[in-house]
Structure 1
Amino acid sequence: MIDLEEYLYNRVKNEIDSWNAKDIYAISFFVYSNEAYTYKDFENVSIFTISYNTESACENDDLLSEERWNYAYWFQDEIPIIDPTEDYNEGTEILFKWYEQNGIKNIGYEDEDCYDKDMNYVGKGPVGYYELLTAVSNVAKRLQEESYIKNKFGKPIPIIIHDYEYSWYVIEATKNANPHGEADTFIKAMKQLGFID
Structure 2
Amino acid sequence: MIDLQTYLKSKICDIISMWNEDNIYAISFFVYSNEAYQYNGYSNVTEFCVSYNTEADCNGADRFSEERWNYAFWRQNEFPVIEANNENEGIKILFEWYKQNSIVNIGYEDSKACYDDKMRYIGKGPVGYYELLSEIAIVAKELQDSGFIKNKFGRAIPIILHDLEYAWYVMEATKKANPNGEADVFFAAMKKLGFNTGD
Structure 1, residues 14-33: CA drift from partner, whole Å, max 9, x if none? Answer: 01000001210000000011
- Secondary structure (helix, strand or coil) at the match of 1:57 reads coil
Structure 1, residues 63-95: CA drift from partner, whole Å, max 9, x if none? Answer: 0000000000000110110010x3411000000
- Residue 186 (structure 1) aligned with residue 183 (structure 2): no
Q: How does 1:1-197 map to 2 (within 5 A)?
A: 1-84=1-84, 86-111=85-110, 112-196=112-196
Unaligned segments of structure 1, at least 5 residues = none
Please tell me the residue identity of whatever aligns with 1:189. Answer: A
- Secondary structure (helix, strand or coil) at the match of 1:160 reads strand
Please tell me the residue identity of whatever aligns with 1:135. Answer: E
Q: How many residues align?
A: 196
Q: CA deviation at 1:117?
A: 2.3
Partners of 1:117 and 1:159 in 2: CA distance: 33
Pairwise CA RMSD of aligned residues?
0.9
Partners of 2:119 and 2:181 in 1: CA distance: 33
Unaligned segments of structure 2, at least 5 residues = none
- Secondary structure (helix, strand or coil) at the match of 1:29 reads strand
Distance 1:87 1:2, change over 3 A: closer
User: TM-score with structure 1 length normalisation?
Assistant: 0.97
Partners of 1:62 and 1:50 in 2: CA distance: 24
Residue 39 of structure 2 contacts residue 86 of structure 2 at CA under 8 Å; is this kept in 1? no
Partners of 2:48 and 2:195 in 1: CA distance: 21
Q: CA deviation at 1:49?
A: 0.2
Partners of 2:94 and 2:133 in 1: CA distance: 12
Identical-pair percentage: 61
Partners of 2:22 and 2:57 in 1: CA distance: 12
Please tell me the residue identity of whatever aligns with 1:182. Answer: E
Structure 1, residues 143-189: CA drift from partner, whole Å, max 9, x if none? Answer: 00001000000000000000000000000000000010000000000
